Structure formats: structure tokens, C-alpha cells
Structure 1
Amino acid sequence: MAINTTSKRRTALSVLGVITAAGLLAGCGSSTPGQSADDGNANADGVTTVQFWHRTFTPVENEWYKNIVKQFNESQDEIKVVDTEVPADAWDQKMKAAQAAGKAPDVYTFSASITDAVNAEQLHPLNDIVPQDKLDEIIEQAQPISQIDGDYYAYPLLLEPQTVLFWNKEILDKAGVDSDNGPETWDELLDACAKIKPTLASGQYCISPASDAVTFAWSSVGQQWNFAGHTALSDDWTAPDIDNDGYRDLMSKYKELWDNGYMAKQALAAYVEGKDFGEQKVAFKVSGSWMMSEIGSDFPDMLENTGVGAFVNSENADGRGATTLGNFRWVIDAKTKNAQAAADFLTWALAGDPDLLVPFFVDTQFTKVPVRTSVQEAVADDEAAADAPWSDIVVNDIIPTAIPEPTYPWDVSLAVGTAMESVMKGAATPDAAIGTAEKAIQTVIDRDSLADKAPSN
């Protein structure tokens, strides 16, 4: 199951088999946060306590985190890891408070830009505490979100496409649109919507895409690359780079969806969830690969009626993909007093025996991609893989051309997302929106001295 970067196949998917995965929604389940990291020093018995925080994910993910800590603690008697599950909606507030008080956990899950965190001196370098051969196992697609100029600050657990196209085969068939092969370009998508719209019932729409500034900010990075051949900053981070035909064209495509009534004026569901698709309110849904888990658990009758493929391309993409490559990583706090013990746990759990990681990817229904080839192969060998044919599409058709999340500050992405929303809704012309975004981006460049922080590679 190693990633095949030469694969160009695009295929529709009739999803077959039975899926038992729990839904994706992040708010389900929590536990009371544990003791602070201050308590994590060696006790009288010489056992070092390591505090580990992770967000509340899906039930099967939460169970994997619980079990991986339990297995590590049972595997040796020198380090005790204390597992704390923090509700997703409380994560930012709790983490900021802990960092401000100097009580951040020794190890924790992380999904933001490592550049910002490294510049803020929040992350401990891994090169001297994690064996180099273990760092070398991280596949090429995961390198940009793990290290800066060869200095590692995070070890990834997974990669997952944040922009995947799902379609309702029955609705497409009714409109005379090819449901075996989804649209490959924006023009094909718009043509399909023109055919589909007259066949829809009241309350149904052609597509449910991103529709607000914040979601555009993180989900459209791959599309920016797809249209323009680059993202929002010049290579040396000295200036914005969005005043071009690529960005104008991308913004205009969403305005066409909006103006033609192909999408709802008020989102039918959050971008990250599949309720609107599962309830058959839309012919096409744009979301992350994780949505397949929700469809399988909450809308099993939709399985055989769901097509999956890469998101549509600009006519000038020249092989560039259109999805942002999401991820989740583990990091070690810069101020930990137990750096090596924390690294030993991280290495054992994420960089050790592939069989420890297989349950995570199997139980999340093959909607996420391991960052080590050995783990990819072990997951592919699991007998349940045959019931998840979409995994091959994710791994071979989408991931190889996906664009990693940018390492520049979030405010740069948000400026682009705001411009995209304002153009889509007709609040500003592309020229005006781009001008406003350029000013906002330049402010970030000057404020954060980005020219001094641009990665050399």
C-alpha cells in the first residue's frame, strides 16, 4: 500500500460492504483532565511520569489512544504515561492556559503550523531524543509538517486529504450525469450542476462546498496551488503572491456556484460533517476523507450510492492536485523536564512496531493514511481492507498530488479565505478582495518578520 506517485487513475466508487465505524463528530465523549505536567518527575521508585494530552476524537480513536497508553505502561516499568482526553471545544483554551502557567503536558497532539510554534519556542527538537532512523521513516509527503530545514519538531500519526469529492450516484443518474466517473475539472462540475439543478426537489442543491472564510482558509490551500501553482506568499516570504489570474479564477468559480444557486446560501451542514450528504440534500459534497466513516456509521444505506474521487481541477492544473493535506502529529513541549522519557513514549507508539498502529487505521475505516511505508503495508494486509476500496483512491489518486498545510502563519491563510468568501457572496470584486487580502498579508509579513523565517526548502 506504499504511495504510488505515478498513479493517475481516477475512478468512481460504489462503496460496498458493512462499516461499523463511529461517526466523525469531534464532540462525543470526554474525560476529566488529569494532573498537571508539574507532577511529572521521577517518583521515589525511580519511575518517571509523563503527561500526555490528546483531543477528543471519534470513539474508536479515543479507544486507540487509551489502549496505546495502557500497552506502553505495561511494556516497561521505568515510565508511566498519564493519558488525558480534552474535549475538542476546550482544547485551545486549556492548552493556552497550561502553556502560560508553565504546566503544558510533556507530549500532546498537534495540528497547527509547527513554524508558529517553533518561533514561539513551544516545541522541543526531536533529533537528539528520537533515533534518526525512526525520523527517516517518515514519508516524503509528511516531511513538510514534521521538520524545518532538517530539524524535527513533530512526529506525524497520519495524513488525510481535506478536500475530497463525494457524489450521490442516484441523483447523478437521474440527471443523466455520469455517476461512475465523477467530474475531473471545474467546467465539468459546473456543467453537471446545470443538468442536475432542474431535477432536484425543494431543499436539495447540487453541491455543498466550503462556504465561509475560516473553512476556505484551511481547506482551499490545495486549490490555490492547483489554480496558481503556488500558495499565498512569495518563496522568500517577503510579499503576498495572490494578485494573479489563478487566484481570480479560483474565486470566480465559487461565485458561479453561489450565483447559479448550485449551493445553499446557508450551509446545510458543517464542512467537516456529512449529514447533508447522508440525508440526500446534495448531489455533491466536498469534505475530508474522514467523512466516509460518518456515512458508514450514520447512513449505511448510502454506501452503495456513494461515489468518491479527487476534487476537481483547474483547466491549467497540469497534474497538480487540489486537496490540502491534513495531518495530526505528536509533539513534545519545549519546557518539559522529561524530554527523553516523553520521546521514548512517542517513539514506541508512533515509530515502533507497525502492528501497534494498524488498529487505528482499520477502526477509522481506512480514511487516513499512515506516514510510514511499513505501517501502510501492514494496514493494507488487514483482512478488512477489502471492504474499504476507497482507501486505494485516497492513497493512490489523491495523496500523491496533495499540498501540505502551509507553514506560514494562520493569519495569511485567513486573509485568503476572507477574500474567497467575499468574492463568492458578491461583497467584493476579485480585484478589491485581493487588494484587501494583500494589505492584511503584508501586515503579517511585517509584524512577524517573516522574511527572516522563510524555510530554505
Structure 2
Amino acid sequence: MQRTLTRRTTLLVAVTALGLSACGSESSNQPAPGGKVAITVTGQPPSSQAIERKIFDADVAEFEKLNPDIDIVPHEGFMDPKTFSAKLAGGQLEDVYYVYFTDPANIIARRQAADITEHIKDMAVVKQLQPALLDIFKDRGGKIYGLPTANYSMGLLYNRTLFTKAGLDPDKPPTSWDQVRDAAKKISALGNGTIGFADLSKNNQGGWHLVTWAYAMGSQIARQEGEKWTADFNNAKVKQALQLLKDMRWTDNSMGEKQLLEATDVQRLMGAGQLGMYLGAPDNVPVLVKEFKGKYDDYGVAALPGSGTLLGGEGYMINPKASPEKIKAGLKWIDWKYLDPNRIEQRINQYLAEQQPIGLPAIPTPDIYTGDTRAKQAELKTKYANVPEKNFAAYLEGNTRLKGNLEPPNAQQVYAVLDNVMQGVLTNKDANIDQLLSDAEAKVNSALAQVK
């Protein structure tokens, strides 16, 4: 199931804003007709995503056929910040519910998820999941409250055709920020409105990208001391990133005149063949092809230069009021639908039947495994690839050396503040980076003070 850059930035949820207790969440534990266990589950794609919806509904039917004692009641949608808190308070939370990686820590602290530690002891796939991803769903005592089902990390998305035109080797994308700057200048020199590099700066997306820059440079955004969080980005590493952006924008003129961009703006430019590079995850590529008339052969994704990247993803948790029978049924659904290594080839074939891309990182099977399962997944994706896998080799190889960092607490509030920093650098030639960061630091500390 694809998560586009646009969807991710508009639906990321800061659950720290939910001042709710577990007692507000109820799960109907009445048996379904015929002795079945009925469970409500989120994650059914909207009807506008016809292919994903078709595959999901087919999976529900197949699962119920294989498990006649379980009745899946799918609910459309994923994690909607406009309704999630109300559902929790009103007792309408599903038995199995979707979360972003930013959510579990606060959900666990507020006892809004069931402890599944004992229930998953015999679930073989758990031992094949990346430990760092499983840790996201653990409390400080090591108990487990959910399972990861997909992840992504930010990379450098680039136009291979423009690289070739600019005399750059598309099979050797930049591995340092100096090389990114040099490539952006050469691509901009092609003329005809071509832009070497673009970045986002509004609707919280600029702040989201500044966090990515900070991680790439080896900085954090916030640090925790005991129970208190403090801003940790007003430093030389983040200043270096902002100075680079400022130089590219105003000295090199390689970022174009139009600023205050958001996701769809850079995707439109890239799809039209007018943009050389931007920060993004591989799931942007199908968007460029399907929505902006691009071609898979034209795009590549490399790992971010530097020492770190922004790690994100999703998983599922169980209603804390669910009965043991519902927990068992819910975990069986999560395992079969999202995790089962024996279904990797089936899932690939489902996408092939719908003429969907195979060979992109994380699509249609998530890169969440280790060991034999990961090797099997890679072998199958190569076997069935219908897009050029080599275009993403630098991303997969490079990510092995990068530290993955989660989003900061109260992410959306932090992003809103950091938008102003990005806007200042990209719209004001005389912007004072020190002052922008100092102002932002005070406001981010206020946002972090609300973290409980």
C-alpha cells in the first residue's frame, strides 16, 4: 500500500495532543453471529485509490475464507487527525487501528493500546522484523503494544535524464552535499526554466524537510533529559545546512525564483522534466508517473549524503479494551495481511495483475525484514521487476550506513515553527540564519514543553 509524500505530510499525527485516557476507548466484545469473532480494522483504502481498495477487499475475502471463525469489518481510512481523538473519547476506536511511527510512544504512555507481548511469542515473523522498528512499539520495560508493517526513509530523488543532459553520470548520484550543489548548478545551466534543486517551505512541509536536513548533517531536533524534551537544532550542523540552501538559492540561482513550495509543486516540476533533485522517499516515484505523466526510467533515488536520515513508517495496534479472542484474531489479520513472508510473492503478483510497479524500494512489500526473509524478498522483487531496479541501488546501499531518526515529539507543531526558518532562508537574501534559529528554538521549546 503506497504512502505518497503528500499524504504523509498532511496526515502525520501528533498524538501528544490527545489528552485522553484508556477508559474512554471501548471495544465491543460481543460475539459475532454464528460464533464468529468480529473485529473492526482500519486501513481500507478510499474508493479513490481503486487498485489498492480492490486488493484490500480481495484480501479480506481470502482471509475470511481461510479463517471462517473470524469476521473482518473494514473501516475506510488510516490515521485522520480530525477524527482520531474523538473516536478515542467516544469509544469508537477500532479493534485494530493504524498508527504512524510518531504515535506509539504516546499511545503506550496513555494506555490506549493492548499489551500484545504474550500474544506474539509464537508469531514466527516477529523474529524477522528489524529490531529498531519493533522497538518503536515497546515501552520502557520492553513490553510490546503493536507491530510495524511498513517503513520509509528520506533520500535524494533525482532526474536521470537531466543528469545525462548536464554531463553528470546518472548511475553515480551525489554522495556529498558539495556534489549536490555542483550538480544543481550544472542542471540549472541547461536553461529553459530548468531548476537544479528544490525544497519545501510551507504547510509544515518545510519544517519536515529541515528536520531531514538536520539528521543528514548529524544533528538532532530535540533531546530528552528524564521526562523533559529540549530543542537541539540551534548548532553549527544545522547552520551549515541552511547556509548551503541559502547559497544554492541566492549565490548559485539553482533553486529557481518561485519559492513557498509544497509537495505537489516539486512533484509537478519533476514530472514535467523541469527539476533535477529534491528530498523525498521512493514512494514519490509512482506519484510522478501516475499523476504527473513521468516515466520510471527517468528517475533515480539515492541515499542522503551525510550521516543520518529521517525514518518514518506505519504499523497497527490493538484496542486496549479488546477481549483476548479479539486480540488473537486481530494479530492473525495483521500477520497474514501485512507481514507473512509466505505471501510476499502473492502480494507481488497482485500488483503485477494490476500493472503496478515492481522493483521500487518498499513497494509493494515493505522493507521491514532482516535475515532470510529480507533475502527472499529481494530475490522475488528482482525476479518480477518491471521498473529499473538499478535506479534505486544507491538508495538501498547508502541507507545501510545512515542512522535512522524518528520525527520529534509534537512533530506538527515543531514543523510549523521550522517552516519559518526555511521560508526565511529561501525568500530573503539577507536572512540572518542565527536569528532565525534562535527565534525558532524558543518556540520549539514551548511546543516540547507540552509533551507529557
- TM-score norm. by structure 1 comes to 0.77
What is the CA distance between 1:99 and its match in structure 2? 1.6
RCO higher in structure (CA 8 A, sep ≥6): 1
Structure-2 separation of matches of 1:404 and 1:209: 20
Q: Residue deviations 1:57-87, cap 9 Å, x none?
A: 754433333233222211122221111222x
Residue 173 of structure 2 aligns to a residue whose secondary structure is coil
In the other structure, the counterpart of 1:127 is: 117
The match for 1:94 among 80, 83, 93 is: 83
Structure-2 separation of matches of 1:26 and 1:114: 22
In the other structure, the counterpart of 1:251 is: 242
Is structure 2 residue 92 aligned with structure 1 residue 103?
A: yes
What is the CA distance between 1:186 and its match in structure 2? 1.7
Q: Residue deviations 1:415-440, cap 9 Å, x none?
A: 44543443443395222222222222
For residues 437 and 243 of structure 1, do their structure 2 counterparts lie closer, same or farther at Cα, with a shift above 3 Å needed? same
Is structure 2 residue 232 aligned with structure 1 residue 230?
A: no
Instruction: Read off the aligned partner of 1:332 and give its amino acid letter.
Output: I
What is the CA distance between 1:105 and its match in structure 2? 0.6
Structure-2 separation of matches of 1:422 and 1:335: 48
Is structure 2 residue 435 aligned with structure 1 residue 432?
A: yes
Structure-1 separation of matches of 2:3 and 2:220: 34
Structure-2 separation of matches of 1:60 and 1:395: 27
Structure-1 separation of matches of 2:73 and 2:35: 16
What is the CA distance between 1:281 and its match in structure 2? 1.8
Q: Residue deviations 1:87-142, cap 9 Å, x none?
A: x7x93323333222111111122113312222333222221322265433321342
In the other structure, the counterpart of 2:378 is: 380
Q: Residue deviations 1:264-312, cap 9 Å, x none?
A: 4246662697332121121223321102223444567633333331233
Structure-1 separation of matches of 2:183 and 2:55: 41
For residues 188 and 37 of structure 1, do their structure 2 counterparts lie closer, same or farther at Cα, with a shift above 3 Å needed? same
What is the CA distance between 1:330 and its match in structure 2? 1.3
Q: Residue deviations 1:156-197, cap 9 Å, x none?
A: 111222x22232233233333343322222222222222332
What is the CA distance between 1:238 and its match in structure 2? 4.5
The worse-fitting range, judged by mean Cα deviation, of 359-368 and 249-258 is 359-368
Instruction: Read off the aligned partner of 1:147 and give its amino acid letter.
Output: K
For residues 356 and 179 of structure 1, do their structure 2 counterparts lie closer, same or farther at Cα, with a shift above 3 Å needed? closer
Q: 8 Å contact 1:61–1:360 — kept in the other structure?
A: no
For residues 285 and 222 of structure 1, do their structure 2 counterparts lie closer, same or farther at Cα, with a shift above 3 Å needed? closer
The match for 1:370 among 367, 372, 376 is: 367
In the other structure, the counterpart of 1:347 is: 335
Q: Give the percent of matched residue pairs that are identical in Structure 1 and Structure 2.
A: 17
In the other structure, the counterpart of 1:329 is: 315
Is structure 2 residue 212 aligned with structure 1 residue 214?
A: no
Is structure 2 residue 396 aligned with structure 1 residue 395?
A: yes
Residue ranges of structure 1 left out of the alignment (5+ in a row): 1-20, 28-35, 314-319, 450-457
For residues 423 and 301 of structure 1, do their structure 2 counterparts lie closer, same or farther at Cα, with a shift above 3 Å needed? closer
Instruction: Read off the aligned partner of 1:331 and give its amino acid letter.
Output: M
Residue 170 of structure 2 aligns to a residue whose secondary structure is coil
For residues 218 and 116 of structure 1, do their structure 2 counterparts lie closer, same or farther at Cα, with a shift above 3 Å needed? farther
| 1:130-141 pair list within 5 angstroms | 130-131=120-121, 133-141=124-132
In the other structure, the counterpart of 2:15 is: none
| 1:42-191 pair list within 5 angstroms | 42-54=31-43, 56=45, 58-86=49-77, 91-111=80-100, 112-131=102-121, 133-149=124-140, 150-161=142-153, 163-191=154-182
Instruction: Read off the aligned partner of 1:405 and give its amino acid letter.
Output: L
Structure-2 separation of matches of 1:333 and 1:23: 24
In the other structure, the counterpart of 2:22 is: none
For residues 268 and 414 of structure 1, do their structure 2 counterparts lie closer, same or farther at Cα, with a shift above 3 Å needed? closer
Residue 381 of structure 1 aligns to a residue whose secondary structure is helix
For residues 417 and 135 of structure 1, do their structure 2 counterparts lie closer, same or farther at Cα, with a shift above 3 Å needed? farther
In the other structure, the counterpart of 1:198 is: 189
Q: 8 Å contact 1:110–1:329 — kept in the other structure?
A: yes
RMSD (CA atoms): 3.3
For residues 177 and 277 of structure 1, do their structure 2 counterparts lie closer, same or farther at Cα, with a shift above 3 Å needed? same
For residues 425 and 334 of structure 1, do their structure 2 counterparts lie closer, same or farther at Cα, with a shift above 3 Å needed? farther
Residue 75 of structure 2 aligns to a residue whose secondary structure is strand
Residue ranges of structure 2 left out of the alignment (5+ in a row): 8-24, 352-356
Q: Residue deviations 1:389-412, cap 9 Å, x none?
A: 145444332255251323633234
Residue 190 of structure 1 aligns to a residue whose secondary structure is helix
Structure-1 separation of matches of 2:135 and 2:302: 24
Instruction: Read off the aligned partner of 1:284 and give its amino acid letter.
Output: M
In the other structure, the counterpart of 1:302 is: 295
Structure-2 separation of matches of 1:79 and 1:152: 24
Structure-2 separation of matches of 1:235 and 1:388: 46
What is the CA distance between 1:228 and its match in structure 2? 3.4
Q: 8 Å contact 1:23–1:293 — kept in the other structure?
A: no
Residue 239 of structure 1 aligns to a residue whose secondary structure is strand
Instruction: Read off the aligned partner of 1:439 and give its amino acid letter.
Output: A
For residues 192 and 129 of structure 1, do their structure 2 counterparts lie closer, same or farther at Cα, with a shift above 3 Å needed? same
Structure-2 separation of matches of 1:332 and 1:43: 18
For residues 154 and 22 of structure 1, do their structure 2 counterparts lie closer, same or farther at Cα, with a shift above 3 Å needed? closer
Instruction: Read off the aligned partner of 2:254 and give its amino acid letter.
Output: Y
